[in-house]
Amino acid sequence: MARTAEQAQADNGRRALGRALRQWLSDDAVLDQTEQLRPYECDGLSAYRRLPLVVALPDTVEQVQAVMRYCASQRIPVVARGAGTGLSGGALPLENGVLLSLAKFNRILDIDVLNRTARVQPGVRNLAISEAVSGSGFYYAPDPSSQIACSIGGNVAENAGGLHCLKYGLTVHNILKLQVVTVEGDLVTIGADSLDAPGYDLLALMTGSEGMLGIIVEITVRLLPKPVSAKLIMASFDDIEQAGNAVGNIIATGIIPGGLEMMDNLATRATEDFVHAGYDIDAAAILFCELDGTPEEVDDDIARVKKVLEQSGCTDMRIAKDEQERQLFWSGRKAAFPAAGRLSPDYYCIDGTIPRKKIGYVLTRIAEMGQEYGLRIANVFHAGDGNLHPLILYDGNQPGELERTEELGGKILELSVEVGGTITGEHGVGVEKINQMCVQFDKSELTQFHALKAAFDPNNLLNPGKAVPTLSRCAEFGAMHVHKGELKFPDLERF
Amino acid sequence: MQASRVQPALNSDNNIDKQLCLVVKQAAAESTPLRLQGGDTKAFYGRASEGQPLDLRGHNGVVSYEPSELVVTARAGTLLVDLESDLADQGQMLGFEPPHFGDGATLGGAIACGFSGPRRPYAGSARDFVLGARIINGHGELLRFGGQVMKNVAGYDISRLTVGAMGTLGVIVEVSVKVLPIPAREATVRFSMPAAQAIGQMNEWAGQPIPISATCYHDGTLDVRVSGSAKGVDAAIIKLDGELIDEGAAFWHGVKEHRHSFFADDQSQWRISVPQATPPLPLDGEWLIEWGGGQRWLKTDAPTDVIRKQVEAAGGHATLFRGGDRSGEVFHSLPSGLFNLHRNLKNAFDPQRIFNPGRLYRDL
């Protein structure tokens, strides 16, 4: 087959860059053959694929610094990648850039039991931290559904959440210190081993910055003592709005549950087929409420929550009788994504957050939109913090179905903004939601984001094109900034 | 469900916002430094900074409050005492328990200083509770970042960046914070022991599932507050096995507001932030230790460089909190690479350097 001039040029570029990086990296730590690059062409958002110019797999901080210095001097963009489980395309490579994999940074460096911290490399898996400290009675709290595979570095880059955020916080609440390599290859310490650090809160700024401000090469996380007691109530509702109201009613009693999750009927049926947890498949929605703490606190709280659920109109209620049953009840919720995969050849996961009081309204609107687009939607969500994950079921082999799905997903995110929420609760903007950023933020806000990025990365080499859209992109998308259902500003410039 | 209390006069495009933006625009055009102030109760804090006062007290009121959403949004000039009273009416509180240091203390001031009280190591700091903010940048533009929901990763976390920035990045106009239910019960137990033992003990307890919500050690006495459900607190009291004291609420108020006898004299006070389990530091003077060892107050005659060196060696930082030379660097100096990022950030928000110039660091 005849190779195009373009391909030949790309191959030459690959080889030249590969040679340059081998000054600091071993032969097998630089991938520059097309077939070697394939596994890196996408992250967890597989609808977007692109081959990087070269993949670099450093295993020391000095090597990361050397790669960054070289790329900065040559103005070569760099995309950092952890485990590649991200759902917004944050680690989607650039054709003209280096994909910097931190997979070899997989060591837990230090566990300080008395200070309740662990110093870890970015490629360490989220769950591996909890496993390593479990024997001492501790765990690392943020637990995204992908925790078995996702890396802590990626968690910091995306400010990952999970099932227990309402009580225990997001990644930003559970880390103390970062070692970061800047775009110029300098190593800086952000945060501290103490509870606070002098100067601006760059730790908060780095968290969730999607690889746009620096390369994270070490993380100090906080560890929490494992609760001695945890009990799970599972309640059925024959009306989804009532289930939504029950969430608010529980919070109003002054209890912050360790976990508060909801699934609609389609999601419940799918997961029941998958894990056989004994879910009520006739319920319009089921609510999971976990209470944890000392046995005394949990007993107090269980009694109060039971009463609230009854008053909120639940049709059935079950309390997991032992630890095994508690795990079984949770297993379905945690397996909701793969279960959805059995309902349909493909599914697309959405990640908006809304004020809890809008749950009923938003779910009704989502169902209507699904009908308009002729697509089924299963809903699982972190009800306690209003973080929705509608799963749009589609078939990628049907022409046009992916495009319809993406359009519907975009509409759902715009609806989230309209009711006072946000386009992403925990998955990040990446490439996926970049157009919806034009809906959530106005021109001067986006300009401020770009100025902030330039403070760290003046030549726009770190993960360029992600997370924050250019003003011209927004003009092309034609989005109008909508805020909390306010009418569109008549004087707003179209940009 | 309780209805939200919205003051429609204070919506987003009201005149006060526009006036503030105009004031900032003009100051930027003329390069006139502004001294941002709420109740001016924290004038003692940070470096001495000159500027035309920009009084934000008129910019007050709760914009929205929905107890079942655990979120309150208020104007920066809202008095902390008013805000806390509104929350208490609904059985809720600011989880970071901010010190007021005066009746006129405002929400914006507490956020700009990044102050948190005794509950901080157990519930989180001011920045942990911030969900969103409206700020005016150095171009006089009103910008909104974050929001009113618990989880939000759209765009850089600029609202948390303003916490503790001492007003050097912009005028905080409005803040949304997560709130917490007031615990059903709180109790305080007291122990006698030397400092090293107290530090070890506080950290050992913090590694166990005991609902501790505050700790304070001074002059041989360790006080520990526990909070939670009635049964949970009863069980914790038995487990901790100290002397139950009656005046707990007044005691913790005194620690929070610096009315404890330690703070009574005019000697300058250092705030030392170190990893919590750090043993007592070899610096002579009087100490009061809070936050499970993470926040330590020191009155000493030791020279600044000796203090900073000792604290840095322990992995912490030292702030000249009150008194002393306010024209020097009162905050711990930063390594040059990190300081460059600070300077670039200041420039990205406030290129004319009009907001509280020099209040945080001389060159910011």
Q: What percent of chain B has pLDDT over 90?
A: 93
Instruction: Give yes or no: residues A471 and A357 share one domain.
Output: yes
Q: How far is B251 from chain A (nearest CA, A)?
A: 23
Binary contact (A116, B160; C-beta < 8 A): no
In order of A233, A309, A332, A378, B314, the CA distances from A337 in angstroms are 22, 27, 9, 10, 46
Contact A101, A56 (CB under 8 A): yes
Binary contact (A301, B229; C-beta < 8 A): yes
Sorted by sequence, the CB contacts under 8 Å of residue B59 that are 6+ apart come out as B16, B20, B75, B76, B77, B108, B173
What's the pLDDT score for residue A337? 82
What's the pLDDT score for residue A487? 37
- Worst-scoring range by mean pLDDT, A131-135, A325-329, B188-192, B352-356? A325-329
Q: How far is A32 from chain B (nearest CA, A)?
A: 33
Chain A residue numbers with beta carbons less than 8 Å from the beta carbon of B87 are none
In a domain, A48, yes or no: yes
Binary contact (A386, B151; C-beta < 8 A): yes
Q: Would you say domain B183-262 falls under CATH 1.10.1200? A: no
Q: Smallest Cβ distance to A194: which of B114, B141, B317?
A: B317
- Worst-scoring range by mean pLDDT, A112-116, B8-12, B152-156, B233-237? B8-12
ipTM value for the complex = 0.95
Instruction: Give yes or no: residues A33 and A15 share one domain.
Output: yes
Binary contact (A386, B182; C-beta < 8 A): no
Q: How many domains does chain A have?
A: 4
Domain ranges across chain B = 8-181, 183-262, 265-352
CATH number of the B265-352 domain: 3.30.70
| Protein fold of B8-181 | 3.30.465
Chain B residue numbers with beta carbons less than 8 Å from the beta carbon of A254 are 91, 181-182, 184
Q: What letter represents residue A38's amino acid?
A: R
Chain A residue numbers with beta carbons less than 8 Å from the beta carbon of B341 are 182, 188, 202, 455-456
- Mean pLDDT over B20-40 rounds to 97
Q: Structural domain of residue A267, as residue ranges?
A: 229-338
Q: How far is A468 from chain B (nearest CA, A)?
A: 7
Instruction: Give yes or no: residues A301 and A382 share one domain.
Output: no
Instruction: Give yes or no: residues A240 and A303 share one domain.
Output: yes
What's the pLDDT score for residue B361? 98
Binary contact (A166, B181; C-beta < 8 A): no
- Residues in chain A predicted with pLDDT less than 70, given as ranges, are 1-3, 479-495
pLDDT, averaged across chain B: 94
User: A173 to chain B: nearest residue by CA?
Assistant: B128
Binary contact (B319, A198; C-beta < 8 A): yes
Question: Is the backbone of residue B103 left (phi > 0), alpha (psi -120 to 50) or beta?
Answer: alpha
Q: Smallest Cβ distance to A425: which of B152, B169, B339?
A: B152
User: A249 to chain B: nearest residue by CA?
Assistant: B68
Contact A20, A12 (CB under 8 A): no
What's the pLDDT score for residue A266? 93
What's the pLDDT score for residue B9? 41
Stronger pLDDT, B15 or A71, i.e. the higher one? A71
Domain end point (choices A225, A259, A290): A225
User: A302 to chain B: nearest residue by CA?
Assistant: B229
Chain B residue numbers with beta carbons less than 8 Å from the beta carbon of A227 are 209
Whole-model pTM?
0.94
In a domain, A487, yes or no: no
Binary contact (A255, B181; C-beta < 8 A): yes
Return the CATH number at A64: 3.30.43.10
Binary contact (B69, A357; C-beta < 8 A): yes
Q: How far is A359 from chain B (nearest CA, A)?
A: 12
Q: How far is B26 from chain A (nearest CA, A)?
A: 18
Instruction: Give yes or no: residues A461 and A376 share one domain.
Output: yes
- Cα–Cα distance for residue pair B184/A301, rounded to 1 Å: 11
* A vs B: CB pairs below 8 A: 279
Return the CATH number at A139: 3.30.465.10
Q: How far is A63 from chain B (nearest CA, A)?
A: 19
- Worst-scoring range by mean pLDDT, A380-384, B115-119, B331-335? A380-384
What's the pLDDT score for residue A356? 86
Instruction: Please check whether the two domains, B8-181 and B183-262, share a CATH topology.
Output: no
Instruction: Give yes or no: residues A286 and A332 share one domain.
Output: yes
Chain A residue numbers with beta carbons less than 8 Å from the beta carbon of B140 are none
Q: How far is B140 from chain A (nearest CA, A)?
A: 10
Phi and psi of B283, rounded to 5°? -125, 125
- Cα–Cα distance for residue pair B108/B115, rounded to 1 Å: 11
| Beta-bridge partners for B121 | none
What's the pLDDT score for residue A274? 87
Binary contact (A296, B180; C-beta < 8 A): no
In a domain, A485, yes or no: no
- Dihedral sign, CA of B347, B352, B357, B362? positive
Q: Smallest Cβ distance to A200: which of B276, B291, B345?
A: B345
Quickly list H helices, A186-322: 202-206, 240-252, 265-275, 295-311
The string of pLDDT tens digits covering residues B89-110 is 999 999 999 999 999 999 999 9
| Beta-bridge partners for A219 | A120, A178
Binary contact (B164, A201; C-beta < 8 A): yes
The string of pLDDT tens digits covering residues B240-268 is 999 999 999 999 999 999 999 999 999 99
- Cα–Cα distance for residue pair B305/A20, rounded to 1 Å: 45
User: A434 to chain B: nearest residue by CA?
Assistant: B154
- Cα–Cα distance for residue pair A141/A118, rounded to 1 Å: 13
Domain end point (choices A80, A101, A122): A101
In a domain, A484, yes or no: no
pLDDT at B8 over 80: no
Domain end point (choices A318, A338, A358): A338
What's the pLDDT score for residue B180? 96
- Mean pLDDT over B171-175 rounds to 98
Q: Coil, helix or strand for B215?
A: strand
Chain B residue numbers with beta carbons less than 8 Å from the beta carbon of A205 are 156-158, 160-161
